[in-house]
Amino acid sequence: MSTYAVPPRVSEGTSSPVSSMEGWRAAWMAARNDPDGFWLPETRERIAWDQPPTVGLAGDFHDIADERISWFADGQLNVTRSCLDRHLETRGDKVAILWEGDEPGDVRRITYRELHAEVCRAASALRELGVQKGERVIIYMGMVPEAAIAMLACARLGAVHSVVFGGFSAEALKDRIRDCAAEVVITQDEGMRGGKTIPLKATCDEAVIGERSVRKVLVYRRTGVHVAWDAERDVWWHDVVPTQSADLDAVSCGAEDPLFVLYTSGSTGRPKGLVHSCGGYITWASYTHEIVFDLREDDVYACVADVGWITGHTYIVYGPLANGATTLMFESTPLYPDSGRYWDVVQRHGVTIFYTAPTAIRALAACGDEHVTRYDRSSLRVLGTVGEPINPDAWVWYFDVVGEKRCTVVDTWWQTETGGICITPIAPATPTKPGSASLPNPAIVPVLLDDQSRVIVGPGEGRLCLAQPWPGIARTVWGDHARYVSTYFSTFPGYYFTGDGCRRDADGYHWITGRVDDVLNVSGHRMGTAEFEAVLMSIDAIGEAGVVGYPHDLKGQGVYAYVVLQSDAGEVTDQELEAIIRAACRTQIGAHARVDLVQVVPGLPKTRSGKVMRRILRKVAEGPPDQLGDVSTLADPSVVEAIVAGAKR
Ligand code: WT7
């Protein structure tokens, strides 16, 4: 076993350098004024580099079309050495992954020693299947430890993983396989969630038909159900992984080599594959995970997200493992077998840090306090939330009822693109305000811009941009750097545009107001209105469609579809139409993509030049509009009257 000059980091007690407001302020100023001076020592100390970097940041947001952002470019590393090997000496017998299965009490505990061995075996098996450095592997699995093992096994080989959330349909999976030309897909026979099975292998079979890039499908057995089998292509995990050697040297990678691709929705077109790098990403994941949650050596840390989203990547797998923490993986739902499940998990495992989404908090608050209070939550110290704005009522319930007014609530704002948490309180130092993501982490320089691209000074509300590169920013869009540049850097030249609106108060605290572009956030799931519109347009009876979000008490946003029927569509009832639309969204996107309200309209409101006035669609969907604003450019005002008259809310 190799030893490292670098001691693995987890602060003992509250020794974190940013555990006070003065500490935070000093770190923030240092990282802003001298990024290299701040991050080079930080990463050298924090990360197990094979070849420590001597250069920090290169590139900026002005020249991003010509020169990509890079951090630590001359460094060499394999992130799994930070996540596994270096912990063996001091934490070999510490639980790395604590798995709570779908059925309460179905538990697996995997120590760092076991995880290291299992990742080496899986990596060897992938190598036998032909996976090489730089090749893409799609991971289409549920929340089993093998999903994390598969990610780390890819990373061990320098292969690029792309996890696709297990709720996505065969068509959505196929798009992603094709976009990154994946060589191998890793899946499981079935997923388990909330007492139901999810046919992952069957969906995967459908997705890989005709995909010539896919050589092998590696299948983990979770439920044991009979699955269709292609003997040429399919390989059981239990046939090829356990027999491998428990030690496999990690492939040394350049700091800027891609670690993974993760697809996410935008305002236009198909989902984009955001590319995260090895060195900058792991530095940012480790740093933010430690400081934001005030991580301590004996913490039992539970982020109940899914590895199919960026939260699972950074705060279930890479951040916690880089920090030598015990990270819980949760296969079930907050409502199975009843709405006390989270707190049952907290009590049985002694969870100290708990990280979930506002949509779950709102759903649980509606079920009544007794489902919470019947469990012992005295182990809890920090409560995190992520994914959408949290309304103050839900925040206060989380703080009062779940946390017994003892725990710090950290409302963490970030995105798939940012790799890790950007705006957040730091536990327990930052004074919190219910509903505010509060202050930026070191390296994050938020700027609010108005419609004329003017910087707003002091309190105000505008478009949230970030002015300086941080180590964890996604470097490009897979196969389409021009799209990366136009999506994030063309609206406000010189700035990274987040797509969110934000208000800053007199104390400098940030209040995220939600997306200002055509991206929806439904129960924390990010989806593009354009993706829904493409599905609707694929339906024969529909001639035109416009999709917008509207405020929804539990889900944050609901999905509202305006459709214009084809003149030859024939008789179709509202119920039939809704059923057709829901089925089409399920097959083309996934079960989480549900249209809530459908309104048949005679036409979409358009300007005389033919542009759909989405503003009007949004206004009507928000509820009875008192006024619609300027409608003088409308081609046909009668369309708007019909839309208002037939509104579903
Ligand atoms: C969008 C990013 C970050 C991991 C999960 C979502 C919204 C995220 C917050 C928050 C208000 C938030 C934003 C952002 N969002 N966290 N704490 N407060 N809004 O990642 O799928 O890339 O979505 O989620 O609108 O742009 P994502």
What's the pLDDT tens digit per position in 547-571?
999 999 999 999 999 999 999 888 8
Distance CA 336, CA 100 (A): 12
Instruction: Provide residues with CB under 6 Å of ligand 1.
Output: 264, 309-311, 386-389, 411-416, 437, 498-500, 512, 514-515, 521, 526
C-beta separation of 35 from 57 below 8 A: yes
Helix axes 278-293, 35-46, angle to 10 degrees: 90
What's the pLDDT tens digit per position in 135-181?
999 999 999 999 999 999 999 999 999 999 999 999 999 999 999 99
Report the nearest atom of ligand 1 relative to the CA of 385. 17
- State the pLDDT at residue 2: 31
Specify the fold of 523-645.
GMP Synthetase; Chain A, domain 3 (3.30.300)
The alpha carbon of 414 and the centre of ligand 1 are apart by a number of angstroms equal to 5
pLDDT at 472 over 90: yes
The alpha carbon of 280 and the centre of ligand 1 are apart by a number of angstroms equal to 20
User: For the ranges 287-291, 412-416, 628-632, which has the lowest average pLDDT?
Assistant: 628-632
Identify which of 119, 148, 106 has the alpha carbon closest to the alpha carbon of residue 315: 148
Structure tokens at 558: 């609901």
Cβ atoms within 10 A of the Cβ of 142, count? 26
- State the pLDDT at residue 624: 84
Distance CA 348, CA 569 (A): 57
The alpha carbon of 365 and the centre of ligand 1 are apart by a number of angstroms equal to 21
Distance CA 339, CA 554 (A): 15
Query: Which homologous superfamily does the CATH classification assign to the domain defined by 21-503?
Result: ANL, N-terminal domain (3.40.50.12780)
Which residues in the chain are classed under CATH 3.30.300.30? 523-645
pLDDT at 252 over 50: yes
Q: What is the mean pLDDT of residues 175-200?
A: 98
How does DSSP assign 178-207, residue by residue? HHHT-SEEEEES-EEETTEEE-HHHHHHHH
Cβ atoms within 10 A of the Cβ of 435, count? 18
Report the nearest atom of ligand 1 relative to the CA of 413. 17
E strand or H helix that includes residue 82: helix 79-83
- State the pLDDT at residue 18: 83
In this structure, the chain runs to a length of 649
Instruction: Work out the percent of the chain whose per-residue pLDDT is above 90.
Output: 93
C-beta separation of 481 from 474 below 8 A: no
What's the pLDDT tens digit per position in 590-605?
999 999 999 999 999 9
Which residue has its alpha carbon closest to ligand 1 atom 8? 387
Query: What is the residue-averaged pLDDT of the chain?
Result: 95
The alpha carbon of 499 and the centre of ligand 1 are apart by a number of angstroms equal to 10
pLDDT at 14 over 90: no
Residue 553 bridge partners (DSSP):
none
Report the nearest atom of ligand 1 relative to the CA of 524. 6
- Name the residue of 263, 265, 361, 415 whose CB sits within 8 Å of the most ligand 1 atoms, as the mutation to test its pocket: 415
Q: What is the mean pLDDT of residues 370-385?
A: 98
- State the pLDDT at residue 632: 85
Report the nearest atom of ligand 1 relative to the CA of 526. 21
Report the nearest atom of ligand 1 relative to the CA of 525. 21
- State the pLDDT at residue 6: 36
Which residue has its alpha carbon closest to ligand 1 atom 23? 415
What's the pLDDT tens digit per position in 476-520?
999 999 999 999 999 999 999 999 999 999 999 999 999 999 999
Q: Where are the beta strands (DSSP E) in 189-335?
A: 191-193, 196-198, 216-220, 234-236, 253-254, 258-264, 272-277, 300-303, 326-330
Which residues in the chain are classed under CATH 3.40.50.12780? 21-503
Q: Is 563 helix (H, G, I), strand (E, B) or coil?
A: strand
For residue 337, is the peptide bond before it cis, meaning its omega torsion is within 30 degrees of 0?
yes
- State the pLDDT at residue 626: 80
The alpha carbon of 433 and the centre of ligand 1 are apart by a number of angstroms equal to 18
Distance CA 471, CA 483 (A): 21
User: For the ranges 226-230, 265-269, 332-336, 551-555, which has the lowest average pLDDT?
Assistant: 265-269
Report the nearest atom of ligand 1 relative to the CA of 499. 26
What's the pLDDT tens digit per position in 68-103?
999 999 999 999 999 999 999 999 999 999 999 999
496-to-68, 99, 415, 499 alpha-carbon distances in Å: 13, 37, 12, 9
Which residue has its alpha carbon closest to ligand 1 atom 27? 415
- State the pLDDT at residue 186: 99
The alpha carbon of 438 and the centre of ligand 1 are apart by a number of angstroms equal to 14
- State the pLDDT at residue 354: 98
What's the pLDDT tens digit per position in 235-246?
999 999 999 999
The alpha carbon of 66 and the centre of ligand 1 are apart by a number of angstroms equal to 28
- State the pLDDT at residue 16: 65
- Name the residue of 262, 276, 388, 398 whose CB sits within 8 Å of the most ligand 1 atoms, as the mutation to test its pocket: 388
